[in-house]
Amino acid sequence: MVSRSTRLETDEGYNMKIRAFNWLFVAATFFLLSAAPSIASGYITDKLEITLRSGPSTEFRITDMLASGTFVDVKEEREGWSRVTTSSGKEGWVISRYITQTPPARPLLAKALEDVEKLKEEKEKLGSELKAAERDASSLSSEKKKTAAELSSLEKEFTKWKEVSAGVVKLQEDYDSLRESTEAERKELEELRMENRQLKARRTVYWGLSGALVLLVGYLLGHLYAGSRRQKAGGYRF
């Protein structure tokens, strides 16, 4: 007859073997599952569409499907259902628990991504404008240096022409003085010419009168001579 203590030891050993086998089976199963290759990876979608029905029950027909993020105006609530109107004018009943006071994450994320894309475009545009502005600034700097050099050259030319113009002014003054002197001499010469013409006229008159006087004297002498000869030839007559 087997003692009670021997039976207990036998049962305990059997139980330990069973537990060891179970642990071995679990470990093998975990190893096989973890070693199984995956065929793809992805995310659980948050896209949701709910039914728009003609009445407040699933027994009413579906009139449309409303996508997640659709804005609605609630007109009436009845036993877990809400009568709503969409922004496009569609009206019907939807389950009330699908209506939330805050916009769902998906449309907000789409809007945020759209804003990010716009910001990227604006950043690229601003970057291009900045590069263009830098090129313009470089060009303006070169133009500024060129203008400064031209201004310096013009200042030198101005100083030179200023000195030349001072000489020109002196020449102009000398020319004006010479012209005044020449004009005075011309007037004096004109006066001398006038006096010369007057003198010539006087000489002409003088010689004319002298000639007339000579003729008159000759005539008188001839007449006297002729008279004296007649007296000698005929004697004196009384």
Specify if 69 maps to a domain.
yes
Q: How far is CA 97 from CA 57, 77, 103, in A?
A: 14, 11, 14
Task: For residue 5, give its domain range.
Answer: 1-42
Structure confidence at residue 39 (pLDDT)? 47
59 shares its domain with 91 = yes
The pTM of this model reads 0.33
- Average pLDDT value for residue range 124-152: 84
68 shares its domain with 36 = no
Higher pLDDT, 105 or 181: 181
Q: Which two tokens stand for residue 22?
A: 């179970």
Asked if the model's pLDDT at residue 187 lies above 90, the reply is no
Question: The domain that contains 86 carries what CATH number?
Answer: 2.30.30.40
- For the chain, the first-to-last Cα distance in angstroms comes to 250
Specify if 186 maps to a domain.
no
Distance CA 15, CA 31 (A): 24
Specify if 9 maps to a domain.
yes
Nearest to 54 by CA among 89, 83, 96: 83
Asked if the model's pLDDT at residue 145 lies above 80, the reply is yes
Distance CA 86, CA 72 (A): 5
Asked if the model's pLDDT at residue 75 lies above 70, the reply is yes
Specify if 90 maps to a domain.
yes
Specify if 121 maps to a domain.
no
Structure confidence at residue 20 (pLDDT)? 63
Instruction: Count the domains in the chain.
Output: 2
Specify if 230 maps to a domain.
no
90 shares its domain with 55 = yes
Specify if 77 maps to a domain.
yes
88 shares its domain with 72 = yes
Specify if 197 maps to a domain.
no
The pLDDT tens digits for 111-136 are: 777 888 888 888 888 888 888 888 88
